[in-house]
Structure 1
Amino acid sequence: MHTYLKGLAGCVLAVAASPALASEGGTSFYLLGSGGPGAAVAPPVEGIFIDNTVYIYDGSAKVSKEFVVGGQIVAGLDATVVADFPTVLFVPSTDFAGGVLQLGATFPVGHPNIDASVVLTGPGGGVRQFDAFDNATVIGDPVATVQVSWPLADNLFIQPTVQVNIPVGNYREDQLANLAFNRWIYDGSVAMSLHDMESGWDVSGKVGVTFNGTNDYTQYKSGDEFHAEAAIEKAFSPSFSLGVQGYYFDQLSGDSGPGARLGPFKGKTVAGGLTAAFNFLSGKTPVTARFRAFKEFDVRNRLKGSAFFFSLTFPIKMNLPPEAG
């Protein structure tokens, strides 16, 4: 069971208020780095599973670089976000059209800290700047997930996923620090994993597109976004695996609407890093702990920084066959 739990965090945690500045509010829906080893590998039994991921991002931009955050033009942006993403994954069937059906829900909560200079342009064209700082503990938008994992061949799996951001979180109007988006968002992705339990190697990749709606309050329509991830990991023992992972982000269409005061503002970034998983038993419950760390580079119209994940994944109910009991 540990083998399948190792990839579960990437299956159910794929969304967050990622402080990667390209869309409105300094956030992107898809949490870059979440689709790692075992991205297409699903639990082999029906049941209910929990993934709890703590996410930390710290990034900044040049003093001269401007962004639109909270409906305001800001520069010299420095952001630190600490967030928790508890996710419940329900597996109602392991034989849904020959695959494993998974239904998930994520409920983000976090504490963003934003430090910036607000840029004001007067009627005569004069520009003034003043320092602004905002931080708050906030509840993000819940996210619904539907995905199905199918075996294509021995050790080869494919998993399409559809996710929907439901805009009912704690959106703070005219404020810099937010996790909620105040807009409907849809994300479609496909993951593939070559997962060989005998050799211990896992090679996984995932690509997807995010379709952003309009924030009715700010009248800001964020552009659609492409994201891709790849990972290679080796299990050195039943309890420990180590690998490398990277991600790529490119905004496909520009931002628009009256609130997009800096124009299309299309963003791009690349990042690389390490990932490690530790498997253990808590009583009789199998648990997987996973750590990921990324460093961003080749950045355009975004913050440049580092991201860290720590995940705990475990079942709370499994419908095991009688011979496994």
Structure 2
Amino acid sequence: MKKLYKNIIVAILFGLAMVDSYATENGVDSAALGAEGFTAGALPPPGVYLLSYYQNYHANKMLDNQGDVSVPDFHVDSNALVTRLVWMTDKKILGGNLGFYAVQPFADLRISVAGMSDSNKGLGDLIFAPLLSWHSGNHHWATSIEGVFPTGDYDAPTIVKPIVANLGKNYYTVRPMFAYSYLGHGLDLSTKVSYSFNTENNDTNYQSGDYLAADYSFGYKVTPSLTFGAQGYVFKQLTDDESNYVDIGNKGQVIGVGPGIHYQPEPNWYLEGKYMKEIEVKNRPEGSATWMKFVWTF
């Protein structure tokens, strides 16, 4: 009985609320780490584009600040379909092409902690952003400010139900973003860097700290339509989490790394795949992520 009580307390402290299995409050956030890779900074010309992502994330460890296991019998498995609609206009601002995009994830989430479990499926939090993109020879770059809106399903953990597979975060995030690609001489050197500011989760009186997130890729064209390379991501939380307005630390970090492939036989569509293993993890789950990305021009 004593062991069961201890496990319940641990579960309450680490009960998860996630759409795609990433960090801050309870070890999660809304940054889709690893989603972007090859040509990340090379935004397309004016037109409407549909980007479809599939992600599987699996983890069986929750690690503390020393990188040691902090939660007993922890497992999470998330399958997500993410739709991004991009509209690049013919308008110019500061010499850059003006565009807009919206992102809507759909997730199937299963979690278990200390012998207790929950699952859920449905829509996650909506993302919307204006953007600007520039091109100069082999150099391409873009910038945007994302707004993450708490539209996904959310229930605060309770003693009766300490493990909740939430699809939304229940707080807003403002996220400035910068992306860059060098495309020339068969090389694809790309990155996307963002910084996230989070509001408080009013249901838990918890405010996740600010964090820096970056996707990166190093690729080489082996044929005109086929690129192989290494891809990954870096996550580093720079400010403490707050609970009831008190700093409690819990700064998360992770590095993801693995192989990637990009296939574009026609100018109006391409397919990209990657697998990334997580290392150097603190205060968040440790697992692996598989991404598939399909881009189509209307």
Output aligned runs, 1:36-115, within 5 Å: 36-44=37-45, 46-61=46-61, 65-66=69-70, 75-93=72-90, 95-115=92-112
Query: What whole-Å deviation, never above 9, does each CA across 1:226-284 have from its counterpart, x for those lacking one?
Result: 11232111122232111111221111011112398x93211111111111111245xxx
Q: Equivalent residue for 2:139?
A: 156
Q: Tell me if structure 1 keeps the 8 A contact 2:27–2:252.
A: no
- Distance in 1 (alpha carbons) for counterparts of 2:201 and 2:62: 27
Q: Equivalent residue for 2:261?
A: 276
Give the gaps of 5 or more residues in structure 1: 1-15, 67-73, 118-130, 317-325
Output aligned runs, 1:1-325, within 5 Å: 17-20=19-22, 22-44=23-45, 46-61=46-61, 65-66=69-70, 75-93=72-90, 95-117=92-114, 131-151=115-135, 153-174=136-157, 175-196=163-184, 199-258=185-244, 263-281=248-266, 286-316=268-298
- Displacement after TM superposition at 1:75 (Å): 4.1
User: TM-score under structure 2 normalisation?
Assistant: 0.85
- Displacement after TM superposition at 1:176 (Å): 2.0
Q: Tell me if structure 1 keeps the 8 A contact 2:78–2:108.
A: yes
- Displacement after TM superposition at 1:17 (Å): 3.3
- Displacement after TM superposition at 1:296 (Å): 0.5
- Distance in 1 (alpha carbons) for counterparts of 2:285 and 2:276: 14
Q: Tell me if structure 1 keeps the 8 A contact 2:20–2:80.
A: no
- Distance in 2 (alpha carbons) for counterparts of 1:217 and 1:62: 23
Query: What whole-Å deviation, never above 9, does each CA across 1:191-247 have from its counterpart, x for those lacking one?
Result: 221111xx2211112322111111111111000001123211112223211111122
CA RMSD of aligned residues (A): 2.2
Q: Tell me if structure 1 keeps the 8 A contact 2:120–2:167.
A: no
Provide closer, same or farther for how the CA distance between residues 27 and 62 of structure 1 changes in structure 2, counting only shifts above 3 A: closer
Q: Tell me if structure 2 keeps the 8 A contact 1:62–1:76.
A: no
Q: Tell me if structure 1 keeps the 8 A contact 2:19–2:109.
A: no
Q: Tell me if structure 1 keeps the 8 A contact 2:76–2:111.
A: yes
Match of 2:248, SS?
Answer: coil
Q: Tell me if structure 2 keeps the 8 A contact 1:17–1:31.
A: no
- Distance in 1 (alpha carbons) for counterparts of 2:55 and 2:239: 27
Amino acid at match of 2:201: N
- Distance in 2 (alpha carbons) for counterparts of 1:235 and 1:206: 20
Q: Tell me if structure 2 keeps the 8 A contact 1:17–1:179.
A: yes
- Displacement after TM superposition at 1:188 (Å): 1.0
- Displacement after TM superposition at 1:146 (Å): 1.8
- Distance in 2 (alpha carbons) for counterparts of 1:208 and 1:259: 25
Q: Tell me if structure 1 keeps the 8 A contact 2:118–2:164.
A: yes
- Displacement after TM superposition at 1:286 (Å): 2.5
- Displacement after TM superposition at 1:28 (Å): 1.4
- Distance in 2 (alpha carbons) for counterparts of 1:60 and 1:101: 42
Match of 1:30, SS?
Answer: coil
Q: Equivalent residue for 2:7?
A: none
- Displacement after TM superposition at 1:62 (Å): 5.6
